[in-house]
Amino acid sequence: MNDTERAAAALKAVCDYMDGAKLEYERHTEKNTVLVTITGNDFPVTLMFTADPGKQRIETYSEIPFVVRTEKTVDLALACAAINGRIAYGKFCLYPDRNLCTYENSEYLTGLEGFSAAYGGALVAPAYSIVEEYNEKLYAVNKGLLSVREFVASLRNP
């Protein structure tokens, strides 16, 4: 299997998982991209999966659905760092120049695990769970409803 075939197989696995889970999604074959929006407990979570045969990677990207307030940039940076110290899959990133907070992950397309719906689920489910768990708390920090100290304490005492 060459790099282009691996990238296509990885995206097919993501789609197979979402078909099995009865999730609606958009597949953009020409861009090697799949988009899905899942409504959770608070904000909808939109995940974008892109397979890049040149980099031999599949990347997950999600914009957290709020505009970063300039006066809360440091607080959000600290909150993202606290989260990133706890999660093993992906990372939260802050782009103050674009007033944007994101969740991102990148994995090699080895194909060793096979490109099945289970593989797709291993990409979709953790990304969704992580974003769903933290997006409302990041929103509260951004709005000033939760201090960084309170946020970090909530991580220690779930």
- For position 127, which CATH number holds? 3.30.1460.10
Q: So what's the pLDDT on residue 158?
A: 56
For the cut 90, the answer to whether the pLDDT of residue 1 exceeds it is no
Residue 89 φ/ψ region, left for φ over 0, alpha for ψ in the -120 to 50 degree band, beta for the rest: beta
Residue type, 27: R
Name every residue whose Cβ is closer than 8 Å to that of residue 129 and which is 6 or more positions away in sequence: none
Instruction: Give the pLDDT band (50/70/90) at residue 62.
Output: very high
CA angle 69, 140, 104 (to 5 degrees): 75
Q: In this predicted model, what pLDDT tens digit does every residue of 133-147 receive, in sequence order? A: 999 999 999 999 999
What three-state secondary structure class fits 146? coil
Instruction: Give the pLDDT band (50/70/90) at residue 18.
Output: very high
Q: So what's the pLDDT on residue 157?
A: 64
Q: Which domain holds residue 99?
A: 3-156
Q: In this predicted model, what pLDDT tens digit does every residue of 69-126 receive, in sequence order? A: 999 999 999 999 999 999 999 999 999 999 999 999 999 987 777 888 999 999 999 9
Is residue 92 a contact partner of residue 80, using CB atoms and an 8 Å limit? yes
Question: In the chain, how many domains are there?
Answer: 1
Q: Average pLDDT, stretch 18-30? A: 95
Higher pLDDT, 105 or 39: 105
Q: So what's the pLDDT on residue 53?
A: 93
For the cut 90, the answer to whether the pLDDT of residue 128 exceeds it is yes
